[in-house]
Structure 1
Amino acid sequence: MKILIGNRNYSTWSLRPWLVLVHFDIDFDDELLQLSGPRWRETLHERSPTGKVPVLIDDDLVVPETIAIIEYLADKFPDKAIWPQSMAERALARAASAEMHAGFLALRSNAPMNLRASHPGKVALDVVAQDLHRIETLLGGLLARSGGPFLFGHFCAADAMYAPLATRLRTYELPMSDVLNEYVEAIYGLPAFQAWRAEALKEPWILDDDEIDVIQGTVSRGTLA
């Protein structure tokens, strides 16, 4: 089994299923397809049905899209408890994951994941206020229900879906409650996340489209080093 991923520093969708694979001790290889450089778009289209990452390859089966990959892994390894065990909690976990997949667009657009960076104060709070309020309501409610440290007590697929959010909150030092801060700490303390982040910090590549200074127009494209 192999998963094709993008740059670890920036690729939120690659991070999510990779965390599931590593945390649940599933045997796999990974291959990084850079999201910049000569012919990078052509390479993605040659290797991925959607022209995007991640992509899971299991023998002759090719599965694109993060949630589809996670669901496939949950079906293939039912003993791993990738989703919560109770039907009610699985429903809540899938609902939260779907909301992450389709929502929080202001936060995702204005505060891109950048594990190497620290940009306190660079995101206008009025732009992301509605998303931050919903995050506090949703995640705070799930954490109160489970008692933490993860959304359903133990790490599951829903936490993998929200791991990039934790990095955004920390990178831009966005306001959060003590409960949410403890959740961010739990994500950062997860051995699988630490392994991903360690590799991300070694990457030399810069993606202008995911750098806040370029997005905000304070730095010209191609000038970051």
Structure 2
Amino acid sequence: MKLLIGNRNYSTWSLRPWLVLRHFEIPFEDEVLQLSGPGWRDTLARRSPTGKVPVLLDGDLAVPETLAIIEYLADLFPDKAIWPKDIKDRARARAAASEMHAGFSSLRSHAPMNLRASHPGKVDLDAISRDLHRVETLWGELLVRSGGPYLFGHFTAADAMYAPLATRLRTYDLPVSDVAARYVEAIYALPAFQDWLNQALQEPWVVDDDEIDVIQGRVAPGTIA
């Protein structure tokens, strides 16, 4: 089994199924397909049915799209509790994951994931206030119900879906409650996340489209080392 991923520093959708595979100790290989540089779009078009990452390759099966990959893994390994075992909690987890998949567009666009960076004060809080309020409410309700440290007590696919959002809160030093801050700490403490983070910190590549200083016009494209 192989997972095709984008640059670890930036690729939120790649991080999510990778965490599921690594945390639940499912044997796999990964391969980075860069999201910048000469011919990168052509490379993705050749390797991915959608021209995007991630893609899970399992024999002759190619599964693109993060939630589809996670659902395939949950079906393939039902004993690993990738989703919560309780049917109502499983419904809550899938609803939360779907909301992350389809929502939080302001937070995602104004605060791109950048694991190597620290950019306090560079995000317009008015632009993301609604998304911040919603994630606080969602996390708070689930963490109170479960008792933490993860949304459903133990780490599940729902946490994998929200891990990139948690990194945004730290990278941009966004104002959050103590409950949300503890959840961010729990994500960072996860051994699988630490493994991804350590590899991301060693990457030499820069993707200008995901660098907030380029996005906001502080520096010219191609000038970030």
2:151 alignment counterpart: 151
Q: Which ranges in structure 2 are unaligned for 5 or more consecutive residues?
A: none
1:64 alignment counterpart: 64
Q: Give the whole-Å Cα distance in 2 for the aligned partners of 1:212 and 1:39.
A: 23
1:102 alignment counterpart: 102
1:160 alignment counterpart: 160
1:211 alignment counterpart: 211
SS of residue paired to 2:131 = helix
Q: Does 1:138 align with 2:138?
A: yes
Q: Give the whole-Å Cα distance in 1 for the aligned partners of 2:187 and 2:63.
A: 26
SS of residue paired to 1:31 = strand
1:74 alignment counterpart: 74
Deviation at 1:134, TM superposition (A): 0.2
1:87 alignment counterpart: 87
Deviation at 1:122, TM superposition (A): 0.4
Alignment of 1:1-225 (within 5 A): 1-225=1-225
Report the AA paired with residue 34 of structure 1: Q
Q: Deviations over 1:5-46 (max 9, x none)?
A: 000000000000000000000000000101111110000000
State the Cα RMSD in Å: 0.4
- TM score, norm. by length of structure 2: 0.99
SS of residue paired to 1:26 = coil
SS of residue paired to 2:17 = helix
Q: Give the whole-Å Cα distance in 2 for the aligned partners of 1:62 and 1:205.
A: 26
SS of residue paired to 2:63 = strand
Q: Give the whole-Å Cα distance in 2 for the aligned partners of 1:71 and 1:52.
A: 18
Q: Give the whole-Å Cα distance in 1 for the aligned partners of 2:11 and 2:110.
A: 15
Q: Deviations over 1:131-154 (max 9, x none)?
A: 000001111110011000000000
Q: Give the whole-Å Cα distance in 2 for the aligned partners of 1:203 and 1:28.
A: 20
Q: Which ranges in structure 1 are unaligned for 5 or more consecutive residues?
A: none
Report the AA paired with residue 29 of structure 1: E
How many residue pairs get aligned? The number is 225
SS of residue paired to 1:143 = helix
Give every structure 1 segment of 4 or more consecutive aligned residues whose post-TM-superposition deviation is greater than 4 Å.
Answer: none
Deviation at 1:222, TM superposition (A): 1.0
Q: Give the whole-Å Cα distance in 2 for the aligned partners of 1:39 and 1:206.
A: 15
- TM score, norm. by length of structure 1: 0.99
Q: Give the whole-Å Cα distance in 2 for the aligned partners of 1:38 and 1:127.
A: 34
Q: Give the whole-Å Cα distance in 2 for the aligned partners of 1:223 and 1:169.
A: 25
SS of residue paired to 1:63 = strand
Q: Give the whole-Å Cα distance in 2 for the aligned partners of 1:223 and 1:38.
A: 16
Q: Deviations over 1:165-199 (max 9, x none)?
A: 01000000001100000000000000000000000
